[in-house]
Amino acid sequence: MCTCGRKAFHPEKRPAWSEHLFAWAWARAATPLEKSYGRIKEQLFRDLSGEVVEIGPGAGINLRHFPKAVHVRGIEPNAFMHPYLRAEAEAQGIQLSIDSGHAEAIGLPDESVDAVVSTLVLCSVFNPELALTEIRRVLKPGGRFYFIEHVAAPRGSVMRRAQDFLAPAWRRIGDGCHPNRETAPLLRAAGFTRVDIEERRIKNPFIIVAPHILGTATK
């Protein structure tokens, strides 16, 4: 595995009780949230094939939208999520392996996977620029990064002021989630040969988690 030019990454440590509580809560919230995101995921993930990496798969809710023939490697640093993730993979008949690493340091060789998936994860990674560098590194030429992410509202808007004000508290209760992260410019600057982004208003229970972007970035 080539490590040329890669930056050292030192993950932020969270208390075990916090990770355990978040895993318990997220496993129960994931299915109700499918009312908002499920149909979009169905359409976006239908052409996945081969070796797929999912960063931050959590309780594995996306697996029900993946084609059965894929092999998924879940990069999930919260070990309390792993039992939920394994159970969902078994229920859906998906081949799964789990890595306790981080999106910023994916332990796979260069150009070794066909696709990478991220849903509502780039908001909470510690270093999104480094995560995108790693995603592009592990993708084969022509491979795609599939994403659905909530992003910052336009600057100067009432929503953006609310996001900026609530961000410190939201990060603490949301496992590092930044409601005001400007992810679209990061995707465009990450070195992909093509980036297709669609902006979407998606109703969900969390008012400040809006707007959303979805699409693909091709290596």
Distances (CA, A) of 207 to 55, 104, 158, 170, 178: 24, 28, 12, 12, 14
* Residue 139 phi, psi (nearest 5): -75, 140
Residue 173's pLDDT is 87
Q: What are the tens digits of pLDDT across the range 162-192?
A: 999 999 999 988 889 999 999 999 999 999 9
Q: How many CB atoms lie within 10 A of CB 169?
A: 9
pLDDT at position 174 = 86
Report, in angstroms and rounded to the nearest whole number, the Rg of the chain calculated over CA atoms.
16
Residue 79 has pLDDT above 50, yes or no: yes
For residues 103-129, give the mean pLDDT: 97
Distances (CA, A) of 42 to 63, 85, 169, 179: 10, 19, 32, 25
Question: Structural domains in the chain?
Answer: 16-218 (3.40.50.150)
Task: Tell me the per-residue pLDDT of 4-46, one tens digit each, with 9 for 90 and over.
Answer: 445 556 666 777 878 888 888 888 888 888 999 999 999 999 9
Question: For residue range 142-156, what is the model confidence (pLDDT) as tens digits?
Answer: 999 999 999 999 999
Whether the pLDDT of residue 84 is over 50: the answer is yes
Q: Which of 135, 102, 149, 128 is nearest to 218 (CA)?
A: 135
